[in-house]
Amino acid sequence: MSMSLTKRNDAAFIRTSQILLLVGGLLVWEIGARLGFSNVTWTSSPTRIAQEFWSSMMAGELPGHLRVTLTEALAGLAAGATVGILLGMVLGVSRVLGAIIEPFIMALNCLPRVALGPLIVMYLGIGFASKFALAFSLVVVPMMINVFEGIRSTDPVLVNLMRTVGASRMQVFFKLLLPNCIPWIFSALRVSISFAMIGAIVGEFISARAGIGYMIDTAAGAYDVTAMLMPLIVLMLVTFTFDRLFVLLRNRLLRWRAESET
């Protein structure tokens, strides 16, 4: 009982500290801008960004551009995660194939895929396909590596034990290997949502007619720091929301694991 109370108190203290840190940082930023300690032309301020957000929302500009970027990024995330998970499982289950392919996977992961953006746009054009392909390329490899490592990290003693009691390969996979991969999959998803957004934004920087990257690029051409920061902050908050959703889903799916450890 006391341990549960201590955990709740710790959680409340952490949450309060986070709120105070956020509010304090915004106040320092705003006060510094109002008192002239920073040049608002180059640093903007929270109130200027809030005003820019409101005017963009009223004009219907931000929702439209945000919808374009989210469509590109989430489509790339979904496709990249699906293909990466499947490939990681195949390579992880097949020890020989995994050992053969692993160096090529790591070499592919070392490739700065963002630098392929101009080439992808040249091949696929300036529409949805190029942004989707760039987001996909940034997601698929980390997902594949995490699933591959998740399967390889399974305790071989448990695998041998299941085989000793007569479990089939499918039973070993679904009862042991796949559950062991779930934390790795969600860790990869939390990283990949940011990668997918980066892929979409970079593609929009190179060539686009709509999207958050297009908004930022247009504002940069006008040297409007406030108009650059506002969509960046909105996209950060949206991406953070997806991250929290992944954490909640992971905690729900792995509730059995936490209960077994207590």
| Contact status, residue 209 vs residue 109, Cβ threshold 8 Å | no
Rounded distance between C-alpha atoms, residue 88 and residue 151, angstroms = 8
pLDDT at 89: 87
Task: Say how far residue 234 (Cα) sits from the centre of its chain.
Answer: 15
Residue 262, pLDDT score: 47
**pTM across the whole model:** 0.85
Distance CA 142, CA 10 (A): 33
Q: Fill in the DSSP letter of residue 211.
A: S
Domain boundaries, the chain: 1-38, 49-261
pLDDT of the residue at 233 = 93
Using CA atoms, how far apart are residues 226 and 29, in angstroms rounded to an integer? 13
Token code pair at residue 140:
């698929």
**Ramachandran category for residue 241: left, alpha or beta (phi over 0 → left; psi -120 to 50 → alpha):** alpha
Which numeric CATH code is attached to 49-261? Answer: 1.10.3720.10
Distance of CA 188 to the CA centre of its chain: 8
Q: Which of 63, 85, 111, 101 is nearest to 192 (CA)?
A: 85
Q: Which two tokens stand for residue 220?
A: 């940069």
CB under 8 Å to 185, separation ≥6 — which residues?
Answer: 85, 143, 146, 147, 150
Angle at the Cα of 104 from the Cα atoms of 101 and 107, rounded to 5 degrees: 150
* CA separation for the pair 92, 187 (Å, rounded): 17
Question: What residue has token string 């746009």?
Answer: 121
- Residue ranges, the chain, pLDDT below 70: 1-7, 256-262
Query: What letter does residue 115 receive in the DSSP assignment?
Result: G
Q: Determine the 3-state secondary structure of 33 from DSSP.
A: helix
How far is it between the farthest Cα atoms of the chain? 75
Q: Does residue 212 contact residue 231 with C-beta atoms inside 8 Å?
A: yes
| Mean residue pLDDT across the chain | 85
Q: In angstroms, rounded to a whole number, what is the distance separating the alpha carbons of residues 202 and 207?
A: 9
